[in-house]
Structure 1
Amino acid sequence: MKIPNISIPIVEIPLQKNIQLFLKREDLIHPQISGNKYWKLFYNINSYLDQNPEKPFVITFGGAFSNHIAATAALGKEYNLKTLGIIRGEELQHKWEENPTLKLAHQNGMDFRFVTREVYRDKETLTQILEKEFPDALVIPEGGSNENAVEGIQFMLTEETKSFDYLCTAVGTGGTIAGISKFAPENQKILGFKVVDDQSLYNKVLELSKRNNFELIEAHDGKYGKITDENIRFINDFKQNYGIQLDPIYTGKMMKKVFELIEGDHFPAGSKILTFHTGGLQGISGANELLKKQNRALIDIN
């Protein structure tokens, strides 16, 4: 993998307040390996390939609509790597073809192994079993968050990003904010918007970043993956007003919370805020299928 020789645009989101808000479009970096997933996988894959494995094989973990699973499968196809996804939920074993994320991942060459939620929860033991079964494989954690991922995230920061007072990102497994925290200049404030109700996240991020320069803000609406009607309205209004598609699990929730903080005068007047669009748009089709079954409003993708 090579660092893409492209300029990731930073676009302004015009506001009526004395605050400047911008969005860095990491979602545009690659059609399928988009946003932070590209950078999380970058060092993991390169350090593994530097070992010259005879038959490169990448194993990772994720749920039914995992952006990380989709990105790893796409990367495997592009770089001719065999991939295996350990998927949470044994009930998916005989109906995965009905799931748009898993169907796309399989089209990109990924094989699956479905495990119960109880087995999936103990990923440390599961990883040890996989490493013993496949000693030459690269096993990447859920969400790709490890020390190599943190090193890759540094490429989301550029000369342009140094001019901002605040750097904001959605937080799932913690790798992205850890990378931003580790490599950001000392004068910048790092805000992470938690889309999971995980009270251990702060310590996980601190362990990876080694810097106590970030704040975590709740933005999960009570549960990971929960999509409220307010969230849908915000995403659809945002697209209509600014022409930018947001996903409902990560960037959509972060931006909604950022707007709420701005309206509540959380940021000092004159602040310059940079938010990161971390991709995840592949999950919208699956989300809309679930919303349709619930007879609810859909996320606009037209």
Structure 2
Amino acid sequence: MDGTGAATISLNKTRIALRSLTLAPASTIEVESCEFPLGTDPERRPLHKYLDEIDALIVLFDDVGLAYIDGQVFRDESMLDGGASFLRYLHPEQALANATSEKGDFSAAQREFDRTSTFGVVVNEVGAADTILICDDLGDEWADFIGIRQDGALTHISFYHAKHGPLGLGASSFHVAVGQAIKNLGNMSFPEERIENKVQGWGATYNAPGQATQISRVIRSNAPDLLDALRNARTAPDSIRRATIVTSSISRHAIETAFASIQNGQQPAPSFVQLYWLLQSFFSACAEVGAVGAIVCQP
């Protein structure tokens, strides 16, 4: 950064308010309801007011153990003790080191996702143990993939959100994935009023933007009736629901190194602190609904 002001905030008794965004194009963007034709929403407001209303502001402090997120102040000392409690959510997958895209290329005769895409890594590696694996990407999606498997009496339900991006330690590539994952936590219980329509939609092949394919949306299934299988998973007395972000954009080793540097007294980059708190908010949101958050990343 060159020191140019990007925003102004104010400190109130109970919250931090976002008063303005001064850098273009954010300073000129307005938010409207999609219920109205463009430009006619009588309650349209500047972007900074909308972000303030929904408490979308993250404020970082010189003390890396503090952060202001979702309208609340949080303290977490694990960044200073080597990050052990954070790292347990990160699972390395070697195949992601070879990923070159999110979904890969498509052709009319194609029957599988490219192995060098993060979608292919989910199918062939991350979700390989799931006896039911469904591609739910595009349209009214709950996740890029939904996986179900039985382990004795225990039912595993996994929502996979697959992303690709340049390797780094910043938060920018995670905002969409985290938002998508949190938004769909409620759908991990397979709402009865919605699952029948979902199953009908999974009967079609996967049509990528601008290219139809022969890829089946039901990648794998050992169930005679998929609708019954989802209903059984929904009511299973013992189940684990896991929201998993599968990404090629971070490395567990790089994050371990960053934590070690902090423990040795070095000040972390603001982008890494933002990444840490963004993912902590994701893990916390999962825990609040009885789910487990996880990140599958490069080693």
- After TM superposition, is the score higher than 0.5? no
Greater share of helix: 1
Q: Please report the TM-score for the alignment, with normalisation by the length of structure 2.
A: 0.25
Greater share of strand: 2
Q: Please report the TM-score for the alignment, with normalisation by the length of structure 1.
A: 0.25
The structure whose Rg is larger is: 2
